[in-house]
Amino acid sequence: MPARHPPPRTPTRFPDPMTPRGTRIPLALAAASLALCGAAHPVPPHPGPGPAATPVAQVPVPAPEPAPVPETAPETALVPGEPAAPGQPVYLMDTPDQVLPPLVYEPSAAEDAVEPAAPVGGERTVEYVPRDELGAAACSKQAGPYQRQVERWLKLPVDGKQSAADCAAIRRFQSAHGIRPDSGFAGPATWGTMRLLAARADPNAAHRCPVRKGRTACVDLDRQIMWVQNSAKVTFGPVAIRSGRPGYATRTGTYPVYWRHKNHWSTIYNAPMPYAQFFSGGQAFHAIYDNIYSAVGSRGCVNLTYADAKRLWGALRKGDPVQIWGRRPGA
């Protein structure tokens, strides 16, 4: 397992044109990101055409996003079933916009040598539960937003109602896959884990991602997964992702990876975007320090766990095409 580099004790200086000269910014910081995605330099958005698929050979300049709309996903009233790891800073972000692209520059060798810090306390899969069940040790008596899907996966009677047998079966699945709390509530983490397991044998069984010569990053917003394939062979993933929330959808189409910045820092959100690989304006693949199955989506970026984003960094190169289709459930 690669050694983890602790965050520097003092902020590190690098020649970064995204910030005023002399500004000190920590390049490796363990932080909890709740809805992160943003460019690092406020460039006015291009007033051009809508978000049609962009040729791979061009760097896309997206149209402005529509105004935010209210959340309608059934899980948005849920809360994390367990608190964040002790000592994990939390960044609250509620500002637009993902249209703004970063100011591209060539990171120095010294900057690239710094590995973003790993999450404090490691990565966990936390289920979202009703507020009135927060901290409860007993089996959940409420049907979750994905009750029918979970019942079908576990080969239980599919009626959308929670029973003692349902809860016991769901708890066994949650315990076996490290989902906490394992209270038997059929929430987004439980169903997302099942969805990922179902995709592992052949993520491109529906042939939604074009088979090209060379690498292609495939992003399925319907199932909230992504993978990398070289021709028809899957070389990375599939892994779980978190895409854009309502009003801030991840743009569909074909885009090139046009800039990679391992220690990216969003000056819009004043928060880290580790292992950022930009493909459409300010939208990028990058790690988050929050739960990948959180009920609220990103601000447009394709979020991954820290471990998956670190592995994806080695699986893609500048210029590789990114194929995105579908729609995040509830968005």
Domain boundaries, the chain: 32-121+204-325, 128-186
| 11 vs 206: which has the higher pLDDT | 206
pLDDT given at position 286: 96
Q: How confident is the model at residue 136 (pLDDT cuts 50, 70, 90)?
A: confident
Q: Is the bond preceding residue 238 a cis peptide, omega within 30 degrees?
A: yes
Per-residue tokens: 99? 């249209």
- In the predicted structure, residue 173 carries a pLDDT above the cut 90: yes
pLDDT given at position 210: 95
User: How far apart are the C-alpha atoms of 274 and 261, rounded to whole Å?
Assistant: 8
- In the predicted structure, residue 305 carries a pLDDT above the cut 60: yes
Which among 37, 209, 261, 286 is annotated as catalytic? 286
Which positions ≥6 away from 132 have C-beta within 8 Å? none
Q: How confident is the model at residue 205 (pLDDT cuts 50, 70, 90)?
A: very high
Q: Considering the chain, what percentage of its residues have pLDDT values greater than 90? A: 53
Mean of pLDDT values over 156-160: 96
pLDDT given at position 83: 65
pLDDT given at position 57: 44
Give the burial class of 251: count Cβ atoms within 10 A of its Cβ; 0-12 exposed, 13-18 middle, 19 or more buried: buried
Mean of pLDDT values over 160-179: 96
Per-residue tokens: 235? 């070389």
- In the predicted structure, residue 88 carries a pLDDT above the cut 80: no
Establish whether 5 is a catalytic residue: no
Which positions ≥6 away from 233 have C-beta within 8 Å? none
pLDDT given at position 208: 96
pLDDT given at position 21: 32
Mean of pLDDT values over 117-135: 87
User: How far apart are the C-alpha atoms of 112 and 116, rounded to whole Å?
Assistant: 10
CA angle at residue 143 from 288 to 196, to 5 degrees?
40
**224 in Cβ contact with 297 (< 8 Å):** no
- Range of weakest confidence among 3-7, 28-32, 87-91, 158-162: 28-32
Q: Considering the chain, what percentage of its residues have pLDDT values greater than 70? A: 71
C-alpha closest to that of 141 among 179, 172, 186: 186
Establish whether 261 is a catalytic residue: no
C-alpha closest to that of 84 among 138, 123, 133: 123
Q: In the CATH hierarchy, which fold is given to the domain comprising 32-121+204-325?
A: L,D-transpeptidase catalytic domain-like (2.40.440)
For 13, how many CA atoms within 13 A lie in the half-sphere containing its CB? Answer: 4
- In the predicted structure, residue 293 carries a pLDDT above the cut 70: yes
- In the predicted structure, residue 168 carries a pLDDT above the cut 60: yes
pLDDT, tens digit (0-9, with 9 covering 90-100), for 251-278: 999 999 999 999 998 777 777 899 999 9
